[in-house]
Structure 1
Amino acid sequence: MEKTMLRAHTVKRRTIEFTQDAVPQLIPGHALVRVHHVALCGTDLHIWDDDYASELPLVQGHEFVGRIEAINFGTAAAADGLDIGTAVAVSPMVYCNECGPCQAGRFNVCESISCLGCYEDGALAEVVRVPISKLHVLPESMPPRLATLGEPGSIAMQAVNRGTPVEGETALVLGCGPIGLLATLFLVERGVKVIASDLSPARLELARAFGAVATLQAGNGPFPSAEQQLELDSWCQLSGPTLVIEATGVPASFENAVRLAAPTARIVQVGISTGTAALSMREVPFKELDIRGSRNSLNLIPAALEVLNRHQDLAYQLVTHGFEFEQLGEAFETMLDPTQNVGKIVINMPAGSPA
């Protein structure tokens, strides 16, 4: 008799249908993972709202952890630590290994890149089949639901790596959502002084907990104000921060990054939107700025998990809401509510512990 499982399909705008579908067949080089927890991010919200490049219907979910239920190494040698029952985080990125970027080791911008839960069916299902190479063993002392932060952590770490931080320098992080906060933590770990900016006082308070030496609230008139500019200057050896990470995707914020950056600074654009920024054709060359994009990550989930495991107290502060699988629609509605101060929402799947 064929085994079945429960899956959540986003079938059209803001509409989720639960179905009983066949459990995937195990094939060589793959594992079946019973999903325990799935975290939701802004991309998930856009997909649910049918405001993304994804095609519906789709099984969403790309930030997830679970336990190996079955594994077939095929012709490959057994991998260290991977066995039935092992708790794993899963990399959702799919790349071809053949295009120019892949051949250059930049598979995070593969010309035919895909992502589980974004462009093909993902983890809002009881069981998923994934290649063994996508499995990352969780640190032994790390609660699985916190490990859902491994994927967004890898995005933030990629942005930090792209910025080539130098110990002792001052960085400005624009945007204190989960990516900005995690970038702040990773920069502080590398001896960088971080000044963080956001519209929300609550997020700025979190940024200080994550290690920011100063915070600047945007949105109340010209940014920065004269007083804020003095504080920014007091932390900068040059006339501005030498590293800026833009984590909002708001065009005006990127314009601020260029305006506030010191001459010769590096600017990392990790926030994404369809907006268009207006830049002076003088400022970038006159300051000789390095503007660097950052997308996905180069398999940085294990490195991100290692840092997060040492800072579980901070990780817990990022996970602000938990819902059961059958409450998925309510979870998305909560993300729309600005009064909820949503950080990360974790969906507790039927096999998982309470979120």
Structure 2
Amino acid sequence: MKAAVYYGPNKIEIDDVAEPEPRPGTVKLKVGFNGICGTDLHEYYAGPIFIPTQPHPLTGAELPLTIGHEFSGTITAVGDGVTGWAEGDRVAVEPIYRCDHCAPCRAGNYNVCQQIGFHGLMSDGGMAEYTVVPTGMLHKLPGNVSLELGALVEPMSVAYHAATLGDAHPGDTAMVFGAGPIGIGLWFALRGKGLDDVLVVEPSPTRRAAIEALGATTLDPTALDVAGFIAEHTGGRGADAVFDAAGVTPAVATALACVGSRKPMVSVAIYEKPLETPLLNLVMNESRIQGSLCYTGADFDAVIALMADGRYDTTGWVTRIPIDDVVDEGFEALHAGTKMKVLVDPNGES
């Protein structure tokens, strides 16, 4: 079968690899779509970062390996001992491997497991025609949720988890910094939680146009004093929650200037460079920075329910490509900024 195999920086090849077969407690999936994530881009251009160069303690895998951790699929075979799942079931995959015995796992916070692994980063993943996953990773898709949307459940759950940590409620003012895929996901999540006043701060005209087409209200930080606008917009109260999905110093500085007293700035970005954080704002405002990592099964279930309710739209920001075009039309296009979100179609179903 065809698979996108990662060998190291700037080296992903479409190889013909052996088709996997299910083991006890697992199922075999025919992959519907697999998204290219920002983490995948970091691995391609600067890795290996998370992809192990020695056997991972939970999976035993190391590079080279088949990448891909944002994916959906259809069960084609079940392993011994599997119950509750059958051939033909359509699923989204929550790709976390966890140890179940470290302190965070014992507390129920397995998304910050001290040995965390991901299917498609620490094992052969979903950017292939078929993959095999443990049943604990499966979330069934309702009949009206497509495999295309199913592949977006993982990144949208990253955003939903962050939105939950922001603890914003209907009637509140929320701000999202960055209108990439996670920023778009935050807007969908906050709207799904009942917030009407959600403002998206984005300097790129292309990205502003894409999220505006979905119905969002945007602010251009190159043409507007964002902090001054928010002060006036909220009667001096400040935003009830701000979310950084941009990962750059100017966005963080502006976010902290906008957040209300005793309210959070939730950080859901990957920071490639050290930040100079104006801590005085935090002290004088008694506001705080809240980190957000990954998701839990509850986030997956919530996102799937919102998708079934028609609350997510892929128009204008999601592109589908065949697996043979992964490098040029996937990684290179995303790096150049000519595409926003790319879903790889390894089986030619689209």
TM-score when scaled to structure 1?
Answer: 0.88
Q: Residue in 2 aligned with 1:134?
A: 137
Moved more, 158-167 or 233-242: 233-242
CA deviation digits over 1:299-321, x for unaligned, max 9? 222321221343366223331x2
Do 1:37 and 1:66's aligned partners in 2 also have CA atoms closer than 8 Å? yes
Q: 1:185 to 1:235 in 2, by over 3 A?
A: farther
CA distance in 1, matches of 2:90, 2:98: 24
CA distance in 1, matches of 2:210, 2:13: 36
CA displacement at 1:210 relative to structure 2: 4.1
Q: Does 1:155 align with 2:158?
A: yes
Do 2:334 and 2:341's aligned partners in 1 also have CA atoms closer than 8 Å? no
CA displacement at 1:40 relative to structure 2: 0.9
Q: Residue in 2 aligned with 1:232?
A: 230
Q: Residue in 2 aligned with 1:31?
A: 27
Instruction: Choose from 50, 54, 59 the match for 2:46.
Output: 50
CA distance in 2, matches of 1:240, 1:207: 23
CA deviation digits over 1:306-343, x for unaligned, max 9? 21343366223331x221111112222211223x2x12
Instruction: Choose from 341, 344, 347 the match for 2:341.
Output: 344
**2:316 alignment partner, SS class:** helix
CA distance in 1, matches of 2:290, 2:39: 21
CA displacement at 1:36 relative to structure 2: 2.0
Q: Residue in 1 aligned with 2:75?
A: 68
**Percent same amino acid among aligned pairs?**
29
Q: 1:271 to 1:21 in 2, by over 3 A?
A: same
Q: Residue in 1 aligned with 2:317?
A: 318
Structure 1 runs (4+) greater than 4 angstroms displaced: none
Q: Residue in 2 aligned with 1:241?
A: 239
Q: Does 1:106 align with 2:109?
A: yes
Do 1:184 and 1:210's aligned partners in 2 also have CA atoms closer than 8 Å? no
CA deviation digits over 1:6-65, x for unaligned, max 9? 322122322222333333232221111111211112111121223351244231111111
CA deviation digits over 1:196-245, x for unaligned, max 9? 10111232233334443x3211245xxx52xx455423431443212001
**1:292 alignment partner, SS class:** strand
CA distance in 2, matches of 1:106, 1:267: 21
Q: Does 1:303 align with 2:310?
A: no
CA displacement at 1:155 relative to structure 2: 0.2
**Could you tell me which amino acid in structure 1 is paired with residue 334 of structure 2?**
M
**2:128 alignment partner, SS class:** coil
Q: 1:284 to 1:13 in 2, by over 3 A?
A: same
CA displacement at 1:353 relative to structure 2: 1.6
Summarize the alignment of residues 1-355 of structure 1 with structure 2, pairs less than 5 Å apart: 5-53=1-49, 54-55=51-52, 56-72=63-79, 74=81, 78-79=83-84, 82-192=85-195, 193-212=197-216, 214-219=217-222, 224-225=224-225, 228-299=226-297, 300-311=299-310, 314-319=313-318, 321-330=319-328, 331-338=330-337, 340=338, 342-350=339-347, 352-354=348-350
CA distance in 2, matches of 1:206, 1:309: 22
CA distance in 2, matches of 1:311, 1:343: 21
CA distance in 2, matches of 1:73, 1:232: 57
CA displacement at 1:161 relative to structure 2: 0.6
Unaligned runs of 5+ in 1: none
Do 1:73 and 1:132's aligned partners in 2 also have CA atoms closer than 8 Å? no
TM-score when scaled to structure 2?
Answer: 0.89
Do 1:173 and 1:247's aligned partners in 2 also have CA atoms closer than 8 Å? yes
CA distance in 1, matches of 2:69, 2:100: 20
Q: 1:291 to 1:72 in 2, by over 3 A?
A: same
Do 2:227 and 2:254's aligned partners in 1 also have CA atoms closer than 8 Å? no
CA distance in 2, matches of 1:257, 1:64: 32
Moved more, 277-286 or 289-298: 277-286
**2:139 alignment partner, SS class:** strand
CA distance in 2, matches of 1:187, 1:98: 33
Q: Residue in 1 aligned with 2:56?
A: none
CA deviation digits over 1:245-266, x for unaligned, max 9? 1111113322222222121111
CA distance in 2, matches of 1:27, 1:19: 23
Q: Residue in 1 aligned with 2:55?
A: none
CA deviation digits over 1:138-165, x for unaligned, max 9? 1201221222110001000000011111
Unaligned runs of 5+ in 2: 53-62
**Could you tell me which amino acid in structure 2 is paired with residue 36 of structure 1?**
G
Do 1:153 and 1:305's aligned partners in 2 also have CA atoms closer than 8 Å? no
CA deviation digits over 1:259-298, x for unaligned, max 9? 2212111110001123222233432122111321000001
Do 1:45 and 1:332's aligned partners in 2 also have CA atoms closer than 8 Å? yes
